């Protein structure tokens, strides 16, 4: 028998808000956690993002705050939610506002990379619910602009990520500042020893709720693998995104992971050069830039987002059809976090891993530690020839050479480049057999065959042919190089520049 929201003991205003959100049934973590939290128990939730854990802690907390009906404390809050990244904090605050719409509670959020003065002002009179990144919270505490004396409920979300980001000292300090008499709700996707120690400090006899065993690959994500040389990855990505190499599923919103910030920028730049609009999101981007990249991705205005792990943590973007691991993470748990960006809220998702020879060890680690099962996909026919700029990607045989249009229609166009790349790489594999087109013949790769599972859905990127070429490009850049600067200019968004404060962007909090 399935549990319903009304059976969990939630109040009418909260049930009404859920109705407005269109949630019919509680997710497993909600069904398990809500009754315990309503009773005032501490909670340890082992859950990945995408399981509905935000509502699992927020809904009963809203009811507890309403019931206690305490006054809003001066320069303090009644409920504090700590989150590792700015994006996640902003997202949780929005959920709190949605879920608490009928409850009349005041919700605020403070994150790094924005004006401290504004945060100081908005917290002067205190708030019911505060969502914060740890660094910014402690900045305000140090400035005596905020304290935790009024705290009734403390939530740590994505605690493992907070530790990875180096927030351990901040968390220890916050623990010391918080009143001992409080309720603590602690969430983490994984349970390494450091987290267990932290739980021991923070929680008092917590009810444990686990919806997926630690580091188990997200369900409902179909995982595919492409074995590809490191220097071929960009060409492969371009072929996939431009619909010249079919992969399972309709490409609606594609989230691409690189290991480094520089790598993310490079991928975006190269995609831009062939007319595929993409944004990068990573720690060197200012908060307005990050927010805009997310907004444009959400609205599918720029449906390709290239991210590093840190920036993409916990972000909830409905409708991510594909996660592409351009580079495999060296920590298996990270793989789980990455692919958890797709297949959220009951939807199917597709994850595609590009694995180069020197990443085989990472692949093995991922398979061993996460139960991930990959279906291997073939590379495009004559792929090496394409990479070297002499294959069918450049132009169809017997077709007259077309002039490259600097403002392509359809948002995506084939790259008439690659010759320079081919030159650079020409000597790298000189020993390999070559095809009639001059490319290498790959005898070790599976032949291209239509994918069975998603055969009907495999095809062109959804955005191809739907977008007008100039939509976000402004056509201002004749070279087709639409980096962050060009994009900013075309959008006339001076705010992005104002928000960039150099070093302060590096830390989430």
Of these, 222, 309, 316, 327, which contacts ligand AMP (CB under 6 A)? Answer: 316
Pairing of strands 304-307, 254-257: parallel
Residue 154 contacts residue 202 (beta carbons within 8 Å): yes
Residue 51 is a binding residue for ligand AMP (CB under 6 A): yes
Nearer residue to ligand AMP within complex by CB, 50 or 422: 50
Which residues from 14-33 bind ligand AMP, rule CB under 6 A? 23, 26-27, 30
Rounded-to-integer distance, Cα 291 and Cα 305, Å: 12
Nearest CB to ligand AMP, comparing residues 52 and 150: 52
Give the separation between CA 195 and CA 192, rounded to whole angstroms: 5
Q: Does 461 bind ligand AMP (CB under 6 A)?
A: no
CA atoms lying within 13 Å on the CB side of residue 493: 21
338 binds ligand AMP (CB under 6 A): no
Enumerate the H helices of 85-167 as residue ranges.
Answer: 86-99, 116-123, 134-142, 159-164
Distance, in Å, from the CA atom of 52 to the CA atom of 39, rounded to the nearest integer, reads: 20
CB of 288 vs ligand AMP, minimal distance in Å: 23
Sorted by sequence, the CB contacts under 8 Å of residue 78 that are 6+ apart come out as 65, 68, 70, 72, 127, 128, 129, 150, 151, 152, 153
> Which helix (DSSP H) or strand (DSSP E) does residue 233 occupy?
helix 233-241
C-alpha 261/C-alpha 259 separation (Å) is 7
Least spacing, CB of residue 38 vs ligand AMP, in Å: 16
Collapsed DSSP state (helix, strand, coil) of residue 137? helix
Give residues with Cβ within 8 angstroms of 469, minimum separation 6. 275, 407, 408, 409, 410, 411
298 versus 344: smaller Cβ distance to ligand AMP: 344
Least CB distance to ligand AMP at residue 26 (A): 5
Give the CA count within 13 Å in the CB-facing half-sphere of 421: 20
Nearest approach, Cβ of 154 to ligand AMP (angstroms)?
A: 18
Cα 31 to Cα 55, 336, 386, distances in angstroms: 10, 23, 52
Identify which of residues 25 and 371 has a Cβ nearer to ligand AMP in the complex: 25
Provide the 8-state DSSP code for 444: S
Interface residue with ligand AMP among 33, 36, 43, 54 (CB under 6 A) is 54
Q: What's the closest the beta carbon of residue 128 comes to ligand AMP, in angstroms?
A: 20
Contact stretch for ligand AMP (CB under 6 A) within 49-57, 104-112, 123-131, 226-234: 49-57
In angstroms, the Cα distances linking 27 to 40, 53, 279 are: 20, 9, 32
* Shortest CB 1 distance to ligand AMP, Å: 17
Query: Among 30, 318, 259, 47, which Cα is nearest to 158's?
Result: 47
Closest CB 186 distance from ligand AMP, rounded Å = 15
Among candidate residues 88, 16, 122, the one with its CA nearest the CA of residue 59: 16
Taking the complex as a whole, the smallest distance from the CB of residue 405 to ligand AMP amounts, in Å, to 38
Q: Is 52 in the site for ligand AMP (CB under 6 A)?
A: yes
Q: Which residues, numbered 57-86, are part of the site for ligand AMP (CB under 6 A)?
A: none
CB of 173 to ligand AMP, least distance (A): 27
Looking at beta carbons only, is 189 or 267 nearer to ligand AMP? 189
Q: Indicate the residue among 27 and 76 with the shorter CB distance to ligand AMP.
A: 27
Give the residue with the Cβ less far from ligand AMP, 2 or 399: 2
In this structure, the chain runs to a length of: 509
108 or 212, CB closer to ligand AMP?
A: 212
Name the segment binding ligand AMP (CB under 6 A); options: 43-51, 163-171, 437-445, 456-464. 43-51
Residue 188 in the binding site for ligand AMP (CB under 6 A): no
**Out of 49, 184, 308, 508, the residue judged to bind ligand AMP by CB under 6 A:** 49
Which residue's CB is nearer to ligand AMP, number 22 or number 104?
22
Using rule CB under 6 A, residue 170 touches ligand AMP: no
If binding is defined by CB under 6 A, does position 55 make contact with ligand AMP? yes
Which of 74, 162, 174, 89 is CA-nearest to residue 132? 89
> Of the ranges 46-54, 136-144, 438-446, 465-473, which one interacts with ligand AMP (CB under 6 A)?
46-54
Size of the site for ligand AMP (CB under 6 A): 15
Q: Does 421 bind ligand AMP (CB under 6 A)?
A: no
DSSP letter (8 states) at residue 5? G
Among 13, 45, 50, 414, binds ligand AMP (CB under 6 A): 50
In terms of CB distance, is 237 or 320 closer to ligand AMP? 320
225, 229, 230, 235: CA torsion to nearest 10: -80
Helices (H), 39-167: 53-68, 86-99, 116-123, 134-142, 159-164
Contact residues for ligand AMP (CB under 6 A)?
Answer: 23, 26-27, 30, 49-55, 316, 318, 344-345
């Amino acid at each position: 028998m399935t549990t319903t929201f009304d059976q969990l003991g939630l109040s009418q205003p909260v049930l009404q808000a859920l109705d407005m959100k269109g949630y019919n049934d509680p997710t497993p973590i909600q069904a398990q956690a809500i009754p315990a939290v309503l009773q005032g128990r501490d909670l340890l939730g082992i859950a990945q993002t995408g399981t509905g854990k935000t509502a699992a802690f927020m809904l009963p907390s809203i009811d507890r705050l309403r019931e206690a009906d305490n006054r809003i404390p001066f320069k303090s809050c009644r409920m504090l939610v700590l989150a590792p990244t700015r994006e996640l904090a902003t997202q949780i605050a929005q959920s709190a506002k949605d879920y608490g719409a009928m409850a009349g509670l005041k919700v605020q959020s403070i994150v790094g990379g924005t004006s401290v003065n504004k945060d100081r002002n908005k917290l002067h009179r205190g708030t019911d619910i505060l969502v914060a990144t740890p660094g910014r919270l402690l900045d305000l505490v140090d400035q005596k602009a905020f304290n935790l004396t009024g705290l009734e409920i403390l939530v740590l979300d994505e605690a493992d990520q907070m530790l990875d980001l180096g927030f351990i000292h901040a968390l220890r300090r916050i623990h010391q500042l918080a009143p001992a008499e409080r309720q603590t709700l602690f969430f983490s996707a994984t349970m390494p020893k450091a987290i267990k120690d932290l739980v021991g400090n923070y929680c008092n006899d917590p009810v444990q709720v686990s919806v997926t065993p630690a580091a188990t690959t997200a369900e409902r994500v179909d995982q595919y693998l492409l074995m590809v040389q490191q220097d071929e990855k960009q060409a492969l990505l371009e072929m996939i995104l431009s619909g010249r190499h079919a992969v399972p599923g309709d490409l609606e919103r594609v989230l691409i992971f690189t290991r480094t910030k520089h790598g993310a920028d490079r991928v975006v730049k190269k995609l831009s050069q062939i007319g595929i609009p993409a944004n990068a999101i990573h720690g060197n981007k200012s908060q307005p830039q990050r927010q805009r990249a997310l907004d444009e991705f959400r609205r599918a205005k720029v449906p390709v987002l290239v991210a590093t792990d840190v920036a993409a943590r916990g972000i909830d973007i409905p409708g991510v059809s594909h996660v592409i691991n351009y580079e495999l993470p060296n920590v298996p748990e990270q793989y789980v976090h990455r692919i958890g960006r797709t297949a959220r809220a009951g939807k199917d998702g597709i994850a595609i891993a590009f694995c180069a020879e020197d990443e085989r060890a990472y692949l093995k680690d991922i398979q061993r530690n996460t139960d991930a099962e990959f279906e291997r996909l073939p590379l495009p026919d004559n792929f090496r020839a394409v990479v070297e700029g002499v294959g069918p990607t450049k132009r169809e045989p017997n077709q007259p050479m077309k002039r490259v249009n600097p403002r392509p229609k359809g948002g995506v166009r084939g790259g008439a480049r690659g010759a320079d790349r081919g030159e650079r790489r020409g000597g790298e594999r000189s020993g390999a057999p070559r095809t009639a087109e001059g490319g290498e013949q790959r005898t070790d790769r599976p032949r291209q065959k239509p994918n069975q599972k998603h055969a009907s859905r495999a095809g062109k990127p959804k955005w191809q042919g739907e977008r007008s070429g100039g939509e976000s490009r402004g056509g201002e850049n004749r070279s087709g190089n639409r980096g962050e600067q060009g994009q900013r200019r075309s959008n006339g968004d001076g705010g992005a520049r104002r928000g960039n404060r150099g070093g302060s962007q590096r830390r989430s909090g």
